[in-house]
Chains A and B, each alone.
Chain A
Amino acid sequence: MLKAIIVDDEQHCINRLDGLLQEYGNDIDVLARCHSIEAAKSEIDRESPDILFLDVQLGNDTGFDLLSQLTRIDFEVIFTTSYDNYALKAFKYSALDYLLKPIDKTDFIHALQKLRQQNNLKETSKKIDVLFHNFKDNNDSSKRIAIPTIEGYTMVDTSNIVRLQSDVNYTHIYTSSKKKITASKTIKFFEDLLEGQSFFRVHKSHLVNLNFIESYNKGKGGYLTLSDGNKIEVAVRRKEALLKQLM
């Protein structure tokens, strides 16, 4: 049996999770249901749970405040939130799991499956580090992201990513330290993830960091020369928007 604690300041949300767990989580035992981070903190210390269902908005506090107060995180965290773009972005950067309220049973089942499959706590603590890193360095230009690979997760600062290249359902990520990371996500995933950062989709297969562009050569679409010496083709339809970005 897996031990779980639910943290939410609204009873009906706890009820819903309880209901879902009753139906789909026979192997999960809910040890405590907390309404505040203080209560949650003591319950966590006492019970040492395997899973924490954590609401983002807890009155005047946030679920992140709770995590930051803990000395050790040796459990899986599944965030729950209703509608908070800022938090969603943070989860996406750190690849932490989250459920949107009201919780869809399909999503819930999927989350539980993932939980059972990969019980790698070391990975979780790395993801939470990324989460805190992004909150601490509150600058938008450099965020750390958790890149899902076949082996696990690789943490990279976005400012070190030179370019991303699509390879069917995988994406190769090239860093400024000449490392190549192959992610098990599509380039579209990263395009959405890195939106608002200095990345631009110049081609169906290429997403480049504008800060690494050395030069642009004119042509039908033209091509870019990046600081690592690579030449990247620019799609005709993207040329105009790209030049607008570069000017």
Chain B
Amino acid sequence: MLPSINKNIYFSLLFLFLFNTSYSQNKTLDSLKNELRTYLPKDTVRVGLLVRTAFEMTYSDPNGAFPLIDESIAISRSKNWIKGEALGLRQKGNLYYVLADNLNALDTYQKALVLSKKISDKQLESSLLSNIGNIHADLKEYGHALENYRAYLKTSQELGNRPDEIKALSNIAIVYNDSENFEEGISYLEKALELAKLEKNDLFVAAITNNLALAQKKLGLHEKALKNYQKAADLAQIIGNKYIEASALNSIGEINALLQNYDIAETYADRALSISKEIGAVEWQSDSWKVLSSAYENKGKATEALKAFKEYVSLRDSVLSEEKKSELTRKEMQFKMERQQAIAEEEIKRERLVKNGYLIGTILLVIISALGYLFYKRRRDALEKKKIAEFNAQVAETELKALRSQMNPHFIFNSLNSISDFISRRDIKQADDYLIKFSKLTRSILENSEKKWITLKEDLELMELYIQLEALRLEEKLNYTITVDSSIETDNTLIPPLILQPFIENSIWHGIAPKNGVGQIDLAIKKDKDMLVCSVDDNGVGRSKNHNQTHKNNSFGLKITSNRIDIINHLKNTKGSLKLLDKNEGVRVEIRLPFEAQF
């Protein structure tokens, strides 16, 4: 119930003027409900009706008012009518407040306050500040309460709204009194009283005077307090406000009891009791019984005193239980609010943590990626370098071996043997001829083996020189042909030097030399698309017949040649190849190389 606020200590203006609205109370709830039923367009008029109806239902049926107020907010939003939405929200806050849902009330008021500031509606802002202040005061959050009340005071002064100014001053005073700062409270009350008198508002004057007396009583200023209570009681009686009258009369009784004027105390307490009963104010009845009990006791009326004390205790208990209930609700509210605040703080912390986490994570990711790339690059570069070095080593080694295979020691010494043989047979002319050819070939091999590519013409000349030399040694046992496709320009076609030599050597030494009768070697150079096809054919004894014997030499020449082809393939990205074919009679070797023209 609404009037439970602060009533145990002070009779405050707080609940008297709780809801600031601008409506004059000239329409009944029933007529409003009727209007709502007949006026259906979703416009500002309906919003006004909805808010007013909800307002009228604040105390009688707050729960039933929610659908109406929600509709008003929805319509306002769809129409972009900010003031309508703010008014709706304020009334919704009132409903929550009445249902003791301080948390939602506060939240809803705050939303309305933001909107009211947006549209610079000072009056609306003022009323909201007041309401927000009230809730904080309820929750004994005096700092927040004062803050809002001061803002309320300022806006009401700016607007020149005297009643609001009085209410603001009074409420500030009550907060001070609640926090036992009575001097400050009294000074605000005096300001409020002055203004109320200027306004000639007797209700305000009565209520403020009553509060002033209370503060004075707390400070022990009994004379001043009695005087003011009397003023308040008289004025309340004139304007017919039983609450203020009962409160004031009882307080007079209380003070007289303290001053040991028990007869006067009894009289006032009696009067207060009867009015309290009239209006059903249990707390004040209990207070009055307390005063009466003390008066009877001191006047020696023990029976009455006991009866009064019993009344006091029973009523006090019911008040206390009522208070405990409200205290419990308040505590619960506070707890809920604190928890929500804690959750909100946690949420903020968590968000900050997540944000920081993301930031740190991103930075780490970037650093790790950079490092990773760096390492990867270094490793890759190292591997690349190693590969190149290995390849270069392979090239050098192969070149050396190629030279060695061409300058085969067997060939050298066999040649020398041949020369020796000619000499011993006194065939000086043949010996000399052989020797000159041998030296020319050796010189050419040495010169050309340094080169990676020579012209086909030069290479074929070399090959022919070689074959001639071997033919001399074999004495008429060897015939040869060299054929080049007419489409090939020998002086413009490049070939790795002496690449066919090991195969010619094999054909002569292992194919034709062991053969009975005349042997034939055919060298052929052809072009197949972008490949140069070089072949050596012999009609010798073939590989199978003397396999064991020739295996080593064969494989050596074969290996070096295939290595050379691999290197070419690697450098030129081509598909050169080496093939050995065993024929019915003899062997055929085919080397496919990329066709390289000089120009």
Contacts and interface: CB of A to CB of B under 8 A. Distances in A.
Given A83-B443, A100-B443, A203 B436 contact: no
B76 to A, nearest CB: 73
Nearest to A102: B439
Given A83-B443, A83-B446, A100-B443, A204 B598 contact: yes
B488 interface: no
Interface in B411-434: 432
A18 to B, nearest CB: 14
Contact of A237 (B435, B440, B443, B598): B598
A91 to B, nearest CB: 15
Contacts of B491: 188
Contact of A105 (B436, B439, B440, B599): B436
B492 interface: yes
- Chain A: interface size category: 10 to 19
B597 interface: yes
B303 to A, nearest CB: 127
B599 A237 contact: yes
A204 B599 contact: yes
A199 B464 CA distance: 31
B364 to A, nearest CB: 42
Nearest to B440: A104
Contacts of B598: 201, 204, 237
Interface string A184-219: 000010000000000001011000000000000000
A14 B2 CA distance: 143
A96 B435 CA distance: 25
Given A83-B446, A104-B440, A235 B599 contact: yes
A122 interface: no
B443 A102 contact: no
A204 B599 CA distance: 6
Contacts of A238: 599
B440 A203 contact: no
A237 B492 CA distance: 11
- Chain B: interface size category: 10 to 19
Contacts of B446: 83
Interface in A219-240: 235, 237-238
A65 B436 CA distance: 29
B436 A237 contact: no
Contacts of B432: 105
Interface string A83-122: 1000000000000000011101100000000000000000
Contacts of B435: 102
Given A83-B443, A83-B446, A204-B492, A102 B599 contact: no
Given A83-B446, A204-B492, A237 B439 contact: no
Contacts of B443: 83, 100
A85 B105 CA distance: 108
A203 B598 CA distance: 9
Contacts of B597: 237
Interface string A4-47: 00000000000000000000000000000000000000000000
Contacts, number: 25
A203 B599 contact: yes
A34 B439 CA distance: 25
A106 to B, nearest CB: 8
B436 A102 contact: yes
B599 A104 contact: no
Nearest to B432: A105
B596 to A, nearest CB: 8
A235 B598 CA distance: 9
Contacts of A201: 598
A101 B599 CA distance: 35
Contacts of A188: 491
Contacts of A100: 439, 443
Contacts of B599: 203-204, 235, 237-238
A203 B439 CA distance: 34
Contacts of A105: 432, 436
A228 to B, nearest CB: 23
Interface in B485-523: 491-492
A236 to B, nearest CB: 9
Interface in B181-197: none
A188 B455 CA distance: 11
A230 B443 CA distance: 40
A104 B492 contact: no
A102 B441 CA distance: 12
Contacts of B492: 204
Contacts of A203: 599
Nearest to B438: A102
A204 B491 CA distance: 11
Contacts of A235: 599
A237 B446 CA distance: 27
Nearest to B597: A237
B506 to A, nearest CB: 28
B464 to A, nearest CB: 16
Contacts of A102: 435-436, 439
Interface in B561-599: 596-599
Nearest to B433: A105
Nearest to B596: A237
B572 to A, nearest CB: 11
- Most chain A beta-carbon contacts within 10 A, residue among B439, B446, B492: B439
A25 B491 CA distance: 36
A238 B492 CA distance: 12
B189 to A, nearest CB: 98
Nearest to A85: B447
A122 to B, nearest CB: 33
A235 B491 CA distance: 16
A107 to B, nearest CB: 9
A100 B440 CA distance: 9
B457 to A, nearest CB: 10
A101 B436 CA distance: 9
A188 B492 CA distance: 11
Nearest to A83: B443
Nearest to B437: A104
Contacts of A83: 443, 446
Interface in B87-117: none
Nearest to A235: B599
A238 B494 CA distance: 13
Nearest to A236: B599
A235 B599 CA distance: 6
A100 B432 CA distance: 15
Nearest to B442: A83
A238 B598 CA distance: 8
Contacts of B596: 237
A76 to B, nearest CB: 24
A238 B443 CA distance: 29
A166 to B, nearest CB: 11
Nearest to B492: A204
Interface string B462-500: 000000000000000000000000000001100000000
13 contacts: A100-B439, A100-B443, A101-B439, A102-B436, A104-B440, A105-B432, A105-B436, A188-B491, A204-B598, A235-B599, A237-B596, A237-B598, A237-B599
Given A104-B436, A204-B599, 10 more contacts: A83-B443, A100-B443, A101-B439, A102-B435, A102-B439, A105-B436, A235-B599, A237-B596, A237-B597, A237-B598
8 closest Cβ pairs, A-B complex: A204-B599, A235-B599, A104-B436, A102-B439, A237-B597, A237-B599, A102-B435, A102-B436
